[in-house]
Structure 1
Amino acid sequence: MEWTGILVAVYVLIALSIIVSLLLNGVRPSKTLAWLLAIFTIPVGGILLYLLLGRNRRKLKLYTRKIRKPLPETPGDVEACPPLTRRMDQMRTLVETQAGFPLSCDNEVELLKDGEKTFTHIFRALESARESIHVQYYIFEEGELADRLLELFAAKEASGVEVRLIYDNIGSLSLSRSYLRRLRDAGIEVHNFLPYRFGKFLTSLNYRNHRKIIVVDGKIAFTGGINISDKYLKGDKNLGKWHDMHLMVRGSAAHHLDTVFLNDWEMVSGHRLPFDPPAFPSRPGMNRVQILATGPDDDFALMEKLYFSLINGARKHVYITNPYIIPSHAILTALHTAALGGVDVRLLLSAKADNALVSWCVQSYFQRFLKAGVRIFLYPEGFLHSKIITIDDEVSTIGTANVDDRSFQHNYEVNAVVYERGPALELRRYFEEDSAKSIELDYETFSRRPWLHKLAEGAARVLSPLL
């Protein structure tokens, strides 16, 4: 009985401390109320769920060291940038003041659609490396592609190139010890992001590094939705071939992506690497690019604010390609407001799903979208995995962030914002080509779907903060 009383007292003290923390640090009243109800009604389980999923990481940061930011451009380089429209300049200011990444206008960019083209360019760039190769992926799966990379990394390491690799502990869970040992035996430095450790399991499990970055010599960089997996080249038996979009950039934006990697490297390894940006001459016809790296350590949900700013600033059209559109209240309101206000809002998603629960949750928003005038297209050929937004043929963003609470609140993400008409027009052309192959949903038809479907959607939507 005495031990029972002590355990009850400890439990009550822990519950009270969590309640005080929620009242002090809770951001959204509805979410705070939900956690309070869970703690009061689910003994022990409510506290464990809160410790795993509910803590405000913007207050309790995972990374406490000062984040290094890219060196500012010289005044001459900044003045050489073509001026932005007022709407685009507001987006630039948002990214620069909050994330510290300035606009750079000395970049060459190339859009890389699907795995074959992307990996052809990646291997060509890797083979040209003379000083360093920095690689960071959420999913790094073994297979023919991974074997080719290991062989190339080993050859480059033997020739004096420093090769460093970060992989996420959850996304790359299937990565074997034997493959990692082969990497390390070849001299390649390898670290995983937030590995399972006693005492830190509950504090780190829900916070993943979803970034995909390759930087060669600090001069050529790649980012986007494509992971290291054979399914981008050969497909898989359930979903077929994966379709995705990647971006290759040469210029200061490549150095900025390298800065993201260097900060993450310091987090996982404890070592601060040298920080020497290469020089990039600015020439006419170059592209204005800005990098936005976000995570649960930020004071604000910056990716959500970027997406909100893009949608809210649209005057003609908003085209979004993303398989995981589970919008926050702000993004949902922005999309509804744009469509009801006469903006051409279109969503392109995959008809096939890699997760049934996520798929039901995504579909739970369709009826309201359609009623507001948003057009929805379901791509049927394989699995569409791109993360793209284009606005008014003026500005576009490509990266790793989905349109969901996980990308906004829990994951470390990175996007490139391109303030140029040419890439925006090319992305719009890709969108229209894929839409022409897709199934467009109709409000009247969709609203007559079976009530069991509606029930599944509603149940999945309740779990949307956890997806």
Structure 2
Amino acid sequence: MGFINIYFTKKQKMVNYEKNKTKLIIDWEEAISEIINCIKLANSSIRIRVFMWRDDNSWRKILDLLEQKLKSNKGIKVFIEKDSFWSLVYNFQKLISFWKLGWDIFSSEKGQNFIKNNKNLVFSFVGSRSILFFKYLKENDHSKIFLFDENTVNSIAIIWWMNIADEYLTRENHKFPNTWGWHDYMVKLEWKIANKFSSHISKHSKKWLRKKILSWIEILSSIRNKRTLRSEILAQLYKAKKSIIIEHWYITDNLIIRKLRKISQKWINIKIILPNVSDGVYHANMHSIYKILKPTLLTHKITPNIEVYLYKWMIHAKVLVIDEEVSIIGSANLTNWSFDILKETNAIFRQKDWVTKELLTQLNLDLKNCEKITLDNIPKYNKILAKIQKFFI
């Protein structure tokens, strides 16, 4: 009896430890505060892997802090892995906006001097810069990962899908101060959990990666392989018994849409939250809503058991909650590009408390800031523009 009590006491202590070492980060202000604090506290290493790094106030703040850290701590190593194609995109955006938009920070004088003047910095562009072969080489990395003091007791990982940029904080409409910018999430992992995550990421090769870092956390990464995140996400969705909540920036993948409609026929309640304000894909999202909600002709015009909601502002999130017990969060959008072209990193949290519970609470709050959409009130959109936009996501 005493042995059993000791076993369960140790197990409870481990559960409490793991709970205290994971944290859901919601929106820009909290994310940048966590990142700044981690940079200040870092002692041995900082590793940043990002898809985009625009020359704006937010990213300049991060760059200035990194430069201060390199000067004050001569022993620290800083690794920056920056997607090369999106640097090209940002520079093109600056040109066509007549310098209204900032370009890639490492194309600016400030960024180039940062790379040139810091010996303990290891900087690399990753992926293809080719506009012609970008979609065929499939080498570009859409992940967003911050690692601090890897392989130490102070190790921290802040991971998944948030870009740090001014647009995340910018009000959608300055006349209404109660609104905000891009809604998004990250997850913070500490010590042993962070070390297990970073050890798998550092071994990231051109293969499919699926690793359990704990009994309740599984890392999924897709890299030029027939096996994709699409099939893994679909497998998890098919396991649903009661409910599915999806909050995503884009949903344009036809197979995902068809399978969600099929799953809904099993009387599983599905809620989908999409942004009413989107970054250049408004028409594609609206057309996806129509395809999700349209009646099924082969089953006597039965409308799928799916509820679609438009969030009042901008969403950049990529999250799913299944049966209030499993959450899938990461960098992958529900689009062809994320599944078939870009390298992505997602995770499955098989734990109804902690991250999943916090995420579910936030999703329920988000639903209060949504309008329910039916076939009768889908906002007007252009089908031709929808097809064009879908091609680029």
Tell me how far 1:148 sits from its aligned partner. 2.0
Q: Distance in 2 between matches of 1:464 and 1:163?
A: 37
1:227 alignment partner in structure 2: 163
1:319 alignment partner in structure 2: 245
Q: Kindly, what percent of the aligned residue pairs are identical?
A: 21
Structure number with the higher helix fraction is 1
Question: Any residues of structure 2 matched to 1:371-390 within 5 Å, and which?
Answer: 371-381=303-313, 383-390=314-321
Runs of 4+ that moved beyond 4 A? 200-207, 235-240
User: Deviation digits for residues 193-224 of structure 1, max 9, x if unmatched?
Assistant: 225379x9567676421100000112210112
- In the alignment, structure 1 residue 429 sits paired with structure 2 residue 361: yes
1:300 alignment partner in structure 2: 227
- In the alignment, structure 1 residue 352 sits paired with structure 2 residue 265: no
Q: Residues 156 and 202 (structure 1 numbering): CA distance in 2 closer, same or farther, change over 3 Å?
A: closer
1:404 pairs with one of 307, 319, 335: 335
- In the alignment, structure 1 residue 196 sits paired with structure 2 residue 123: no
Residue identity opposite 2:157 in structure 1 = A
1:457 pairs with one of 373, 377, 383: 383
Q: Residues 139 and 260 (structure 1 numbering): CA distance in 2 closer, same or farther, change over 3 Å?
A: farther
- Assess if the C-alpha contact under 8 Å between 1:224 and 1:246 holds in 2: yes
Residue identity opposite 2:261 in structure 1 = H
Tell me how far 1:231 sits from its aligned partner. 1.7
Q: Residues 206 and 177 (structure 1 numbering): CA distance in 2 closer, same or farther, change over 3 Å?
A: farther
Q: Distance in 2 between matches of 1:244 and 1:135?
A: 18
Aligned length: 338
Q: Greater CA radius of gyration, 1 or 2?
A: 1
Q: Distance in 1 between matches of 2:304 and 2:384?
A: 19
1:19 alignment partner in structure 2: none
Residue identity opposite 1:162 in structure 2 = K
- In the alignment, structure 1 residue 250 sits paired with structure 2 residue 165: no
Residue identity opposite 2:372 in structure 1 = E
- In the alignment, structure 1 residue 289 sits paired with structure 2 residue 217: yes
Q: Distance in 2 between matches of 1:428 and 1:111?
A: 11
Structure 1: unaligned runs, 5 residues or longer: 1-79, 83-104, 268-279, 281-285
2:346 alignment partner in structure 1: 415
Tell me how far 1:237 sits from its aligned partner. 7.3
- Assess if the C-alpha contact under 8 Å between 1:137 and 1:212 holds in 2: yes
User: Deviation digits for residues 406-455 of structure 1, max 9, x if unmatched?
Assistant: 11000111112111111222211111111111111023333xx76xx4xx
2:377 alignment partner in structure 1: 445
1:336 pairs with one of 261, 272, 281: 261
Q: Residues 196 and 135 (structure 1 numbering): CA distance in 2 closer, same or farther, change over 3 Å?
A: same
1:165 pairs with one of 75, 80, 90: 80
Tell me how far 1:145 sits from its aligned partner. 2.0
Q: Residues 287 and 147 (structure 1 numbering): CA distance in 2 closer, same or farther, change over 3 Å?
A: farther
- Assess if the C-alpha contact under 8 Å between 1:109 and 1:287 holds in 2: no
Tell me how far 1:459 sits from its aligned partner. 5.8
- Assess if the C-alpha contact under 8 Å between 1:345 and 1:374 holds in 2: yes
Residue identity opposite 2:41 in structure 1 = S
Secondary structure, aligned partner of 1:242: coil
- Assess if the C-alpha contact under 8 Å between 2:138 and 2:343 holds in 1: no
Structure number with the higher strand fraction is 2
Residue identity opposite 1:168 in structure 2 = D
- In the alignment, structure 1 residue 366 sits paired with structure 2 residue 289: yes
Q: Distance in 2 between matches of 1:287 and 1:233?
A: 36
Structure 2: unaligned runs, 5 residues or longer: 1-10, 89-102, 207-212, 294-302
